Chains A and B, each alone.
Chain A
Amino acid sequence: MNHEDRNRNGKRKKSLKWWLGGAVIGAAIVALVSVQLGNNAVYFYTPDEAVAKAADLMGKTVRVGGMVTPGSVVWKASELELKFNMSDLKGHDISVQHRGAPPDMFKEGQGVVVEGTILGVSQPVAAGMPALPLQMNSRKLMVKHSEEYKKPGDHNQGVDKALLEKSIFKDQGGAP
């Protein structure tokens, strides 16, 4: 390889680096702008939004966030089958079925974000009967915990739950 060749190679290497760097920065700017403008693209729907948009969302992969309804959790360890109800505490409920062990912090009254598919809109069995909850098949079950950290034995129960509700339903006029 003579001197001129080496120079040309060096130049090509430099310009490749230029383009690569430019592409990375360009991609970053696009991502930054889309995140900033993406106020409308939500990370998760609340149960009332999911219920309202159920017909549109059916069959699509969506995330729904809410609180695990106390008393609704059924866990069959031998079949790795988990069922629970998720609620916005304002009367919008979603019945979730999940295959696999729940995260360690999963419990009744906890915040959850469920990623999966909305199966169908249940119709009331008869006129005057309460509506059955929307069905959802979970593929990824995530726990949303609060920003509170306290010592074991600190008794301020309820703060944790209030913070969670505020965080999950923050743009819906606060907790009921």
Chain B
Amino acid sequence: MPRKLMLTGIAVWTCLLAVWAAALAVVPPDQNQGEVYRIIYLHVPSAISAFAASLFLALAGAAALWTRNEKFLTWQRALAETGLLMTGLALLTGSIWGKPTWGTWWTWDARLTTTFLLAILLAGYLMLHSALPAGRQRLAVCSGLAIFIFADVPIIYKSVTWWRTLHQPPTIIRSGGSTMAPEMLTVLIAGIVAMVLMTLWLAWLRTGSIELNRELESQTGAALT
């Protein structure tokens, strides 16, 4: 592992572990939900990280179309993988949170459905990426899809405002200010920042192994992925 990557990784993991410790031990419980609400410190950061990964995926798509540089396609794949990981984590933690508070693991409201759709879109991107032979066509098609996927992100975000949902409306960014106690909000925002950095770090780490895979493939002639 390159030294720069390793040092960044240690820094990001330290931040994330510190936030998780604060979320479990320092912030107070919620008046209505009690201790169970603490999963918010994992759920909201994962969801925002999935949005961030999708944004950078679209940017890598635009950069690849602009420069025709394969490097950006490598980044796309890494970001689609980490984005899918974070979307899955958001769905999983949301479901675990939903059972004790809402009384159900899952319901097809607009927020849940559009988030599920993001997972399918990212999985579809990865299938397309692995199905196409390397070349100009793959670069163009994948980059186009990378940009298209991002369209789902504002829809997910606004779904709780536009439509009637079981999921509650936004807590942090809303007219009239946040509806969260300040000490909770500080830790939540720190958690979002740390998790987004972790997502980007994971994607960075992954670009290295994708490159390595490609080198091995070109040397041995075998398809490894």
Contacts and interface: CB of A to CB of B under 8 A. Distances in A.
B102 A151 contact: no
Contact of B128 (A25, A43, A151): A25
Interface stretch (B75-83, B165-173, B214-222): B165-173
Interface string A104-131: 1110000001010000000000000000
B10 interface: no
Contacts, number: 144
B184 A18 contact: no
Contact of A147 (B127, B132, B169): B169
A103 interface: yes
Contacts of A170: 164
A24 B171 contact: no
Contact of A32 (B32, B117, B170): B117
A75 interface: no
Interface stretch (B18-26, B84-92, B104-112, B199-207): B104-112
Interface stretch (B53-61, B62-70, B118-126): B118-126
Contacts of B171: 147-149
Interface in A39-64: 39, 42-44
A159 B120 CA distance: 37
Interface of A: 14, 17-18, 20-22, 24-25, 27-28, 31-32, 35-36, 39, 42-44, 65, 102-106, 113, 115, 140-154, 159-160, 163, 167-168, 170-171
26 contacts: A14-B131, A17-B130, A17-B131, A18-B131, A21-B124, A24-B123, A24-B124, A24-B127, A25-B125, A27-B120, A32-B152, A35-B110, A35-B114, A39-B163, A43-B164, A105-B100, A113-B107, A113-B166, A142-B102, A145-B101, A145-B168, A149-B30, A149-B33, A151-B28, A152-B29, A171-B164
